[in-house]
Structures are given as C-alpha cells and as structure tokens.
Amino acid sequence: MIKTRHLLDLDDADRPFIEALIARARQFKQGIPNEGSRLRGRVVLGMFFETSTRTTTSFAVAAQRLGAAWINFRTDGSSLSKGESLEDTMHTVQAIGADAIVVRHPEAGFPQALARHFDGAILNAGDGAHAHPTQGLLDAMTLLEEFGDLTGRRLVICGDIRHSRVARSSARAAWLLGAAVTLCGPPSLLPPSEPGWGFAQLSSDFDAVLSAADALMLLRVQKERALGDDLPPYEDLAKWYGLTQARASMLAPHCIIMHPGPVNRDIEVEGQLMRNERSRIDRQVENGVYVRMAVLERTLGQASRERAA
C-alpha cells in the first residue's frame, strides 16, 4: 500500500491502495456522520491551467462537503503572468495557508514539479497525456458498483487512446482490480508500446471487440494534445469507431456504456445512447465527488502526519 501525501498518478498504485480509496468513497456515498468536520479549517487550492467542468466542480464540492475551504487560483490572472517563478508561487500559496493543491496542466509532469516546491498535498487533476488518477479511481468505483468483482470482466476503451490521460489511468486501475483491458482505435491513435501500457490488448477493429465487452468506454479525440499529429477525419472516426445504435445492438445485454466526458455527441457516441439504460455516464460524474472526498481526506491526513513527524 503506497503512503504519500500526493496523488500524482496511478503508476505505483497497487490493488490495496485502490480498494481502500474506493471503499472509503463508498462510505461517503452511503453517508457518514459529521463528514463536514473531517477537513474543517483546511484550505484546498484549485489550480486549473486547462478547462474543466467535472473535475474542478466535483473537487470543489468534495472539499466543501468535508469542511475545507476551496479557493480557485486564477491561472490567467496570477502573478505567474508577471514573471513570478513556479517555485516562488508555491512558497507564496504555502505562506497564505494552502494545505493542498489540485492541479490540471497541459504539460505531463507539471504536478510532479509542483510537488518539489510544496510541503502540502499535490493532487493531479490531469497532466498532458500522462495521468488523470481520480478519473481512473472513479471509473474503477463505477465498474465495481456494477460488477462487484472485476476478475474475468473485460473493459474495452475505444477512441483516441494515444493522447488520453484518462485511458492510461482508467485502464491501469481496472487492470489492477483484475479486469482484462482492450484499447481500441485507429492505428494512429493507439499508444506506442512502452512500459506501463503492456498490460492491455490493442485492437483497431471495433466491431470485432464490441461483443466481448462487459463495459465499453468511449473517448473523444484530444485535439488540444494532438498538435502536429495527423488526425483521422471525424466522419471516419464516427463511422469506424463511434458507438451507433447498430453497434449498441451488438453489445452483450449486461454491457454498460461509459465516457469520462466531455462528449462530442454523434462522433464517439450517438446522442440517443448518452442517457439510455446502459449508460453510466452520469454515475461516473456522481462517483467523482465521493472518490475525491476519499482522496482529499487521505492525502491531507498523510500531509499532517508528515508535518508532525
């Protein structure tokens, strides 16, 4: 079980670590007494250098439900734009009393850089194409709620895998819990073979892998991270890798549909399938609040223990 005050990725996570966080998230979901006093007096800073709806809002709700103050650090209006260094900015927010920073940044490794200059907890809310650990955890929670045990279950993730931090974190979390994972997309959007991706099967034939899925996760093209890459036309993606009504009829009866959002309707998934009986897209968002409560409680607790030691 890893013990750290940060949550930077799931690369070193093990099964007990993921199971413990999800078990705690489920307790929060069922309701625990005095949740609002768990982090009373703590200050959590949201530092989003990229847009976000789900992650920033659910982290804010999670912090506030635990009694912590949530402060939005205005990345476009901060003194970073006047030339203040990252190191000095970190010292400044620490002096102001921030206990944790939730950070999203287009550069892979940015949260690790922050962690070198900050005594509190750093929580990665997405860094480039590297990691989105709380998304991985909330997806694993959603899968566990559905199936109880992931042993022998197959998660198919289809779309732009190469530029997706979600694919990396969600595939890894599901795999650590026992699921088999297939990553599917056009060859140009599949990951290069590298350490960390070796556990998943790769396929470019969506129709061939559909029927074996217990859970199917669709991903949008991350065009903001694909600069300079040759992307297939959206019509081709919708035609060969989009979840249409026709393809949905090929799914196993129990197969659920997931998407981390934001969805480009009628490209990766037909609009009518977004909220049908198979869809767990809103459940993923809901579970995000509870997972983030569990993560905040754990990392801030560890930061306090390290300070006291």
**Is 75 a residue that touches ligand CP (CB under 6 A)?**
no
**Is 52 a residue that touches ligand CP (CB under 6 A)?**
yes
* 166 token code pair: 């979600």
What's the CA gap between 114 and 116, in Å, rounded? 5
Q: Is the peptide bond before 191 cis (omega within 30 degrees of 0)?
A: no
Q: Which helix (H) or strand (E) holds 64?
A: helix 54-65
**Is 261 a residue that touches ligand CP (CB under 6 A)?**
yes
Q: What is the DSSP string of 164-228?
A: -HHHHHHHHHHHHTT-EEEEES-GGGSPPS-TTSTTSEEES-HHHHGGG-SEEEE----GGG-TT
What's the CA gap between 187 and 181, in Å, rounded? 17
In the complex with ligand CP, the residue whose CB is nearer, 284 or 299, is 284
**Is 262 a residue that touches ligand CP (CB under 6 A)?**
yes
**Is 53 a residue that touches ligand CP (CB under 6 A)?**
yes
In the complex with ligand CP, the residue whose CB is nearer, 126 or 185, is 126
Q: How many other C-beta atoms are found inside a 10 Å radius of the C-beta of residue 289? A: 20
| Among the residue ranges 27-35, 142-150, 233-241, 256-264, the one whose residues contact ligand CP (CB under 6 A) | 256-264
In the complex with ligand CP, the residue whose CB is nearer, 89 or 284, is 284
Binding mask 202-241 for ligand CP (x = CB under 6 A): ----------------------------------------
**Is 106 a residue that touches ligand CP (CB under 6 A)?**
no
> Between residue 133 and residue 152, which ones bind ligand CP under the rule CB under 6 A?
135
In the complex with ligand CP, the residue whose CB is nearer, 135 or 299, is 135
**Is 186 a residue that touches ligand CP (CB under 6 A)?**
no
- Are 81 and 38 in contact by the 8 Å Cβ rule? The answer is no
* 1 token code pair: 């079980």
Q: Which helix (H) or strand (E) holds 138?
A: helix 133-147
In the complex with ligand CP, the residue whose CB is nearer, 294 or 303, is 294
Q: How many other C-beta atoms are found inside a 10 Å radius of the C-beta of residue 281? A: 21
**Is 72 a residue that touches ligand CP (CB under 6 A)?**
no
| Among the residue ranges 52-60, 89-97, 116-124, 247-255, the one whose residues contact ligand CP (CB under 6 A) | 52-60
For binding to ligand CP (CB under 6 A), which residues are involved? 52-55, 126, 135, 260-262
